[in-house]
Structure 1
C-alpha cells in the first residue's frame, strides 16, 4: 500500500496564520501536523512509498519533514503546481504510483491516536466518516448498512438529513482511478474527490469507518487550531512531567508537561492541562491557565496571564498582558498592558471574518489571532474574534475593533 498526504492547499480560511506558513505545518503540541501524520501512520503501516502532494509554500513542507523524519528515503514530493482540488491531487499521486492500494489522508486534520490505530480496519474502497453539528460545511454522507449510498460536497441544504460527513481519509484501489480521470470541474471550480466517490457508488460498495467526533478535528479556520490542540492536551498530557527548571515557589496543578531547558520563575502558577516546550521562559509572578501551549523559545514575562491559548515560537508576552483563547504567532511582541478580550457582554458565540464571510464560531470565549512578527504598543486592547495580520504594527493605547491587514500600521481614531 502507498500513502498519499495532501499538503498543497493555500489555507485561505486559516489566515492570517497561513499568510506566512503552510497550513500543514501548524503545531499540535509543538509537533507540525504533517510530521504527526507521518510518525503515527508509519508506526502502524509499512508503506512501500509515501507520496506527498505539495504546492503552496512547498519549501516549508519539505524543510519541516526533513527536520522531523530521519528516514525519509521512501518519500516522494509531487508538485501540484495548479491547485485544482482534492480529486486532481489524488489523481496526480495515483498516476505516479501506479497499480496499488492507496491510503489518502488530508494533512490539515487532527486525528487522535485511536484513529491512527484503527485505520487498519478501513477497507478498500472505503472512507472515514464522523458526525458534526454543521454538516453542510463538509461532504455530507448518507449511509445504509455501513455502505455509502450518497455523498455531496458542501450542499446548500442538508437534503440527506444526515449529520455524517466525509472526514478526509480514503482508501482507494487503483481501479478507482478512472473515476478521478473523468472528473469535471465543480461549482467551486475544483476537481472534487467527493464527486469521484459519488460516481464510484454505482460500481463499488464503499465501506465506512466511523470515528467519534472528539477523535477528529478539521483545521480549516483559526479557532479550529485551538480546538485541535485542546483535544491533544486531553488525550496526551495525563500526568505532571517536569524536565525544566522550576523555582521552589512555583505552584503546579493538574496535568502539565514542562520540557527541557524551560525556566519557570518565582511565584508563577501553572494549571493544567498545559504544554510548555523547550527553551521557554515564564514569570516571575505569572499565571498559566488550562489549555495553554507555549511553543519553543516563547516567553511569558512578569505578571502575565495566559489562558487557553497557543503562543508560537519566539513570541513574547513581556509584562502585564492578558491573553485568552488566542493564537499569538511567531516572533510577535506584545507591548506592556496589551489585552485580548475573549468574551462578549451578551455571552453570545463570537463571530470571526473568514475570507468574505462573517462566521459564527460557536465559541463563547475566543480572543484574537495574531500573525507572525506583529507588534503592539503599550495598553492596546483587542476585541474578541479580531485578526491581526503578519508584520502589522498597532499604536499604543488603541482599541482594535476590526481585523488588521498584514503590514498595516493601525493608529487610534
Structure 2
C-alpha cells in the first residue's frame, strides 16, 4: 500500500494469571516473544512504524523488544485505565501523522498479515474505524458486533446485550484500525462513565457513528484472535503456530513423516525435498538444505545441514555446526562449532567440537575431539580422506593429515602427517594361564566378604 501506517502494540498488562516473573508479552511462541510476533505481522501488513505501550515490567519489555524491533518507540502507560487510555499513551507517535493506525495486542500473536491488510483496505475505502471480528463456536461472554446495511453500528458487551443481540454470532476480536486523521479525535472523546471507570477503545465505534463517520467490521479466523492469559492459553497458541508452520513446509515440498511430532522454531528454514522423520526438534537458527534427511529424535540449533546430508537418529547439532553436501552425522553423535566436509562421516557415539573435518573423512565410533583444557577451546583439523579408528581421542590443538590413518583406541596429542598411520596406545601383553588364578582369587575374596 502507498498509505503510511503506524501500529500500536498494547503491552502494558500485568498478566497475573501467567504466574510468572517474566512479563506476559515476552513469553515465547516458537522461541519468539509474543509481542515480536505481533510486530512481524504488522510489518508484513505494510506498517513501517511500531509503537509499543509498556507498563508492568516495562524496562524488561523495552530492553528485549528494542533489540528485535529496529526503530520502534516505547511509551509508558501511567496506570491501567483501559484500552483507549493505553492507546493515547502513544499520542506522540500518533501525532506524527499516518494514514492508518493499527491497534494490536502484545498477547495475541497469531493474527496473520492478511487480516490487517484487509482492515487497512477498508480504511483506504473511506472508513474511519475498522474492527476485527470473529465467529466463535460459543459466543457467550464476547462483545457482539451489531451491523446494519454493511456498517458496524455498535459493539455490545454480553452482559448488556438483549436476547436478540445475544443471538448474534459475530464477536469483537479487540483489534482495531483507525484512519490517522480521526483517531485522536475519537479517542479523546471516549469517557469513563462505566462500572470500572475506565476508557474503552470500543466506545470509539459509537462516537464515530455520531459524527457521521463510517465504521466497518472485517472477519478473521477464530484462531487468529486467540489471546494468551494463562499457561494453558500459551500452550494452545504454540500448538496452533506449530500446525501452521508444519503445513507451510509441507506445502512447500518438505516431507514430514509424522508432522505433529516435529517442533519448529520461528526462524527454521527447510528447503524442498528435505525429509524430516518423527520426533525432531528445531532450536534457533537452523537451515536444512534440499534433499537432506533428518532422522528421528534429533535436536538442532544454530546449524546448517547441506544438500543430501543426513543426521541421526538421536543426533545433536549445536551452534556452529556446518554439514556439507552428502555428509553424515550418525546416531548418538554431537557436533558443535565444526565444519563437516563433503561426504565425510561422523559415525555413532562420537563428539566433534571446534573442528574442521575434511571431505570424505571417516570418524569411527567413540571418537572424541578433546577441545577444552579448562580455560580455552582449541582446534582439531582432520584432513581429506583421513580414517580415525574407533574409540580415539584427539587432543586439540592437533592436525590429522590428508589420507592419514589413526589406529583404534589411540590418544593422539601430536600432528599426524599426510599418508601416515598413527599408533598412540600401549602395546598389548598376554599373560598365559593367569585367568584361572585371577578367578580363584576373586572367588575367595567374595566368600570372605560373606563370612
Higher helix fraction (1 or 2): 2
Equivalence for 1:59:
59
Which among 178, 191, 197 is matched to residue 185 of structure 2?
Answer: 178
SS in 2 for 1:225: helix
Structure 2 unaligned runs (5+)? Answer: 251-255, 269-276, 286-295, 303-451
Contact 1:87–1:180, Cα closer than 8 Å, also in 2: yes
The verdict on how the C-alpha distance between 1:5 and 1:137 changes in structure 2, with shifts beyond 3 A counting, is same
Structure 1 position 192 matched with structure 2 position 204: no
Equivalence for 2:153:
149
Equivalence for 1:107:
106
Deviations 1:58-86 (A, max 9, x none): 122112213333xx22x211100211110
Contact 2:42–2:113, Cα closer than 8 Å, also in 1: no
TM-fit CA distance, 1:117: 5.3
**Matches of 1:97 and 1:136 in 2, distance apart?**
34
The verdict on how the C-alpha distance between 1:208 and 1:52 changes in structure 2, with shifts beyond 3 A counting, is same
The verdict on how the C-alpha distance between 1:295 and 1:169 changes in structure 2, with shifts beyond 3 A counting, is farther
Equivalence for 1:227:
236
Which among 253, 259, 276 is matched to residue 254 of structure 1?
Answer: 259
TM-fit CA distance, 1:46: 4.2
**Matches of 1:146 and 1:222 in 2, distance apart?**
38
The verdict on how the C-alpha distance between 1:68 and 1:144 changes in structure 2, with shifts beyond 3 A counting, is same
The verdict on how the C-alpha distance between 1:236 and 1:215 changes in structure 2, with shifts beyond 3 A counting, is same
The verdict on how the C-alpha distance between 1:221 and 1:140 changes in structure 2, with shifts beyond 3 A counting, is farther
Higher strand fraction (1 or 2): 1
Equivalence for 1:168:
174
Equivalence for 1:41:
42
Equivalence for 1:93:
90
TM-fit CA distance, 1:10: 1.1
Structure 1 unaligned runs (5+)? Answer: 241-250, 262-269, 280-286, 297-413
SS in 1 for 2:67: helix
Q: Please say which structure displays the higher CA radius of gyration.
A: 2
Equivalence for 1:237:
246
SS in 2 for 1:68: coil
Q: How does 1:304-383 map to 2 (within 5 A)?
A: none
Structure with bigger RCO (C-alpha 8 Å, 6+ apart): 1
TM-score, L = length of structure 2: 0.51
Contact 2:245–2:264, Cα closer than 8 Å, also in 1: no
**Matches of 2:201 and 2:174 in 1, distance apart?**
10
Contact 1:122–1:128, Cα closer than 8 Å, also in 2: no
Q: How does 1:298-309 map to 2 (within 5 A)?
A: none
**Matches of 1:210 and 1:21 in 2, distance apart?**
32
Contact 1:35–1:68, Cα closer than 8 Å, also in 2: yes
Deviations 1:174-209 (A, max 9, x none): 324233223222313321111222322222220111
- Superposed CA RMSD in Å reads 3.5
**Matches of 2:63 and 2:29 in 1, distance apart?**
18
